[in-house]
Amino acid sequence: MGSDRDSGSLQQTIQPMKDKYTKLDYRTVQIAKRETRTMKKANEERAMFNAD
């Protein structure tokens, strides 16, 4: 296997990219959560409507 030093330098390379995409991912997750909530609400309303 590689030494600790090698994996450390790899981490150094990846970290800036991680930071760059963290904000983007956070926003994507927020949007996905909102859409999921909206879909759930719509499904509940449809279920209530069909129950009548």
Q: Which tens digit of pLDDT belongs to each residue from 34-47? A: 999 999 999 999 88
| Residue 26 pLDDT level (bands cut at 50, 70, 90) | confident
> Total structural domains in the chain?
1
Distance between CA 23 and CA 12 in Å, rounded?
Answer: 19
Q: Where do we find the tokens 């609400």?
A: 41
**Is 14 or 51 the better-scoring residue by pLDDT?**
51
**Is 5 or 51 the better-scoring residue by pLDDT?**
51
Question: Range of 36's domain?
Answer: 1-52
Q: Residue by residue, what is the 3-state secondary structure of the chain?
A: CCCHHHHHHHHHHHHHHHHHHHHHHHHHHHHHHHHHHHHHHHHHHHHHHHHC
Q: Where do we find the tokens 């450390």?
A: 8
**The whole model's pTM is what?**
0.42
* The dihedral sign for the CA sequence 35, 36, 37, 39: positive
